[in-house]
């Protein structure tokens, strides 16, 4: 798990909504194309056109770059839990 801290500011993923980038493994090197799965309140869609895949891949890459690494994410979560526990005391 990795955290995108609030200090990173507004990110274009906030308007993209949640999505899953599905990549499929292949035993012979001929993997099927990637697919984007996205849910909304009223339904879900699967996107498989190359420009759609590229657009979501760019959002994912930007999130990956902006998010804290695993150790930093654990540190931030631990810090916030400590702060919450101190408030309750």
Distances in Å between the Cα of 74 and the Cα atoms of 9, 15, 50, 64, 80 are 20, 26, 35, 16, 10
Domain extent at residue 60: 10-88
Position 68 scores a pLDDT of 95
Domain count within the chain: 1
Distances in Å between the Cα of 25 and the Cα atoms of 29, 33, 61 are 8, 10, 20
Q: Is residue 38 part of a domain?
A: yes
Position 27 scores a pLDDT of 80
Return the residue matching tokens 């990956």. Answer: 64
Position 44 scores a pLDDT of 94
Per-residue pLDDT of the chain (89 residues; tens, 9 = 90+): 899 988 887 887 777 888 999 998 888 878 888 999 998 889 999 999 999 999 999 999 999 999 999 999 999 999 999 999 998 87
CA distance 44 to 65: 27
């Amino acid at each position: 798990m990795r955290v995108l801290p609030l200090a990173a500011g507004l990110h274009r993923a906030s308007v993209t909504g949640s999505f899953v980038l599905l990549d499929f493994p292949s035993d012979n090197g001929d993997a099927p194309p990637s697919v984007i799965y996205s849910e909304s309140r009223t339904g879900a869609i699967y996107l498989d056109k190359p420009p759609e895949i590229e657009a979501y891949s760019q959002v994912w890459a930007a999130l990956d770059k902006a998010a804290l690494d695993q150790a930093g994410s654990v540190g931030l979560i631990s810090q916030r839990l400590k702060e919450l526990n101190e408030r309750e005391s």
